[in-house]
Structure 1
Amino acid sequence: MKPILESINVAVDTSLKIESYANENHCASAGWHVHPEYEMVYVKNGSGILRIGSQKKAYSNGVLVFLGGNIPHADFGNRDHVDNLEIVIQFKKEFLEEKLKIFPELGKINALIRKSKQGLVFGPEVHNRLGPDFERFGDLDHQGKLINLLSILNHLSRETSYEPLFDNFALDNFKKDDIKRLEEIFEYVNEHYSGTISVVEISTQLGLTSNSFCRFFKKMTQRTFIDFVNEFRINKALEFFNTNNTLITEVMYQSGFNDPSYFSRQFKKYQGTTPSTYLKRKYGNLLLQDTLL
């Protein structure tokens, strides 16, 4: 089965996307998917089956996985125990392949990064020893999270207790040119979400007609481009709401919407509630007054 291309929304003020899921708020299934970002997943306990590329590997009592970009995979977590925890860390290839490689002191980490393209599953002893470091992410600010990740990468770069799933992984489900086009589209939306998103402009940039662009995007992601853009913008609105107790109208414009009614409908479509209700639940009596319902 051909994997779905997934867009990873990394916040503008950080190099990483880190999500934590407990048993009661389990990670929503993304199905069989692929993305250009690197991904590290720590599952505290319980058993399951890793489906990565052509490989299937059972695990028990949790697992620690590090995947290079563009490796198709299914979800990793499980609900065996009420105290289970899943930490998912994703980072763009530019962060690892361009920024970190300029430091000669990080030679072992850069070697680990290259190995991750084989799909690495670390042994139980490594998983257990680094568990507290992964669980610490929830208490850290952006700077602390970056330092903590570098510390984890440092430890993993010195380990020999891991299993590579592939000698070399080749993404043959998609052509390299198609992957590159998707990455360009994701970057275009990330750079222009607060303003005008022009299908004509991005189509021309990719050397496609508007109709060909829409067909290409639907084929690669199983969704329409406008649906993708709206969800991306709503995720940005959540990012703004969660960073500051900001007026709804300000967030609406910052995230690229111009019509209050349309913004409210899209927010409810993707979040299951209106912007005002979301903010009331989050901030309570501290909520700033606004006119948008």
Structure 2
Amino acid sequence: MKPMLEAINVATNTSFKIEAYNSSSNCESTGWHIHPEFELVYVKNGSGILNIGSQKKNYDDGVLVFLGGNIPHADFGNKDYEDGLEIVIQFKKEFLEEKLKVFPELSKIKELVEKSKQVLIFDHQTKEILWPFFKRFEKLDNQGKLINLLSVLDYLSESAVYEKLFDAISLSNYKKDEIRRLEETFEYVNNNYHKNISVTEISQKLGFTPNSFCRFFKKMTNQKFITFVNEFRIGKALEFFSENNTVIADVMYRSGFNDPSYFTRQFKKYQGTTPSAYLKSRYSESPLQDSLL
């Protein structure tokens, strides 16, 4: 089965994305999927199966795995224990090509990131040693998270024991041109979500007619382009709400919506609640500044 290409929403003010999932907030399954971002996954405990490319590998008592971009894989986590925790760190290739290369002292980390294209599965001792670092992410601001991530990568590049899942660099079944076009589409939405998204403009940019672009996007992602745009915008709205912005109208416009009723419907579709109810639960101790929605 051909994997679905997943869009990773990395915030504009960060170089990477970190998500944590526990037994009550499990990562929504995306099934067999692929994305251009590198991915470092820490599963605290429990047993499961790593389905990556053409390989399957069982794990017990959690796992720590690092895989490069454009490698098809299924979800890694499990629901064996109530105290289970899965921490997923994702970053784009620009993190390696533009940021890490600035510091020659980080050459071993750059080598580690390159090796991740063969998929690295670390031993149990490495996973246990790094647990305090992964646990620490939830309490850190963006600067602290970057420093903590570099500490993790430093240890992995200097002292960790690992096995390579593939003897050679794993290649995606997707054509390079298909991946390039999807990456350009995601980048277009990332740069223009707050404005009017033009299917005609993005179609011309990629060499499609509007109809052929919509068919291409549906084939590659298993969802309509407008669905993806709305889901992306709601993700941005959550990002803006997390910045202690409780003015719903402001967040609505900043995330690319112009109609309060439509914004409310889309927010409830993806979050299961209205913007005002979401804010009340998030900022229960402080009054809302806006009751527009």
TM-score, normalised relative to structure 2: 0.98
The corresponding residue for 2:132 is 132
Distance 2:245 2:180 in 1: 37
How many residues are paired up?
Answer: 293
Q: Does 1:269 align with 2:231?
A: no
State whether residues 194 and 254 of structure 1, in contact with CA within 8 Å, keep that contact through their aligned partners in structure 2. Answer: yes
Deviations 1:105-145 (A, max 9, x none): 11111110110000110011111111111111011100000
Q: Name the SS for the 1:65 alignment partner.
A: strand
Distance 1:107 1:80 in 2: 38
The Cα shift of 1:99 comes to 1.3
The Cα shift of 1:169 comes to 3.4
The corresponding residue for 1:253 is 253
Q: Which runs of 5+ in 1 are unaligned?
A: none
The Cα shift of 1:159 comes to 3.2
Q: Name the SS for the 1:284 alignment partner.
A: coil
State whether residues 120 and 162 of structure 2, in contact with CA within 8 Å, keep that contact through their aligned partners in structure 1. Answer: yes
State the AA in 2 paired with 1:142.
N
State whether residues 40 and 64 of structure 2, in contact with CA within 8 Å, keep that contact through their aligned partners in structure 1. Answer: yes
Pairwise CA RMSD = 1.1
The Cα shift of 1:196 comes to 1.1
The Cα shift of 1:263 comes to 0.5
The corresponding residue for 1:204 is 204
The Cα shift of 1:205 comes to 0.7
Deviations 1:181-229 (A, max 9, x none): 0000000000000011111111111111111110100000000000000
State whether residues 47 and 62 of structure 1, in contact with CA within 8 Å, keep that contact through their aligned partners in structure 2. Answer: yes
The Cα shift of 1:13 comes to 1.1
State whether residues 67 and 118 of structure 1, in contact with CA within 8 Å, keep that contact through their aligned partners in structure 2. Answer: yes
Q: Does 1:69 align with 2:69?
A: yes
The Cα shift of 1:160 comes to 5.2
Identity %: 69
Distance 1:285 1:64 in 2: 38
The corresponding residue for 2:142 is 142
State whether residues 245 and 283 of structure 1, in contact with CA within 8 Å, keep that contact through their aligned partners in structure 2. Answer: no
State whether residues 35 and 69 of structure 1, in contact with CA within 8 Å, keep that contact through their aligned partners in structure 2. Answer: yes
The corresponding residue for 1:3 is 3
Deviations 1:243-268 (A, max 9, x none): 11321100000000000000000000
State whether residues 245 and 287 of structure 1, in contact with CA within 8 Å, keep that contact through their aligned partners in structure 2. Answer: no
Q: Which runs of 5+ in 2 are unaligned?
A: none
Distance 1:189 1:69 in 2: 20
State whether residues 237 and 255 of structure 1, in contact with CA within 8 Å, keep that contact through their aligned partners in structure 2. Answer: yes
The corresponding residue for 1:18 is 18
The corresponding residue for 1:80 is 80
Distance 2:207 2:193 in 1: 21
Distance 2:98 2:5 in 1: 23
Q: Name the SS for the 2:144 alignment partner.
A: helix
Deviations 1:25-83 (A, max 9, x none): 11111111110001000011111110011110000011000011111111111111111
Q: Name the SS for the 2:276 alignment partner.
A: helix
Q: Name the SS for the 2:42 alignment partner.
A: strand
The Cα shift of 1:98 comes to 2.2
Distance 2:171 2:111 in 1: 21
TM-score, normalised relative to structure 1: 0.98
The corresponding residue for 2:286 is 286
State whether residues 193 and 229 of structure 1, in contact with CA within 8 Å, keep that contact through their aligned partners in structure 2. Answer: yes
* 1:78–1:126 distance in 2 versus 1, CA, 3 Å: same
State the AA in 2 paired with 1:14.
T
Q: Which runs of 4+ in 1 moved over 4 A?
A: none
The Cα shift of 1:285 comes to 4.2
Distance 2:247 2:262 in 1: 17
Distance 1:37 1:288 in 2: 37
Distance 2:23 2:151 in 1: 27
The corresponding residue for 2:108 is 108
The corresponding residue for 2:186 is 186
**Segment drifting more, 261-270 vs 92-101:** 92-101
State whether residues 117 and 169 of structure 2, in contact with CA within 8 Å, keep that contact through their aligned partners in structure 1. Answer: yes
The corresponding residue for 2:224 is 224
The Cα shift of 1:21 comes to 1.0
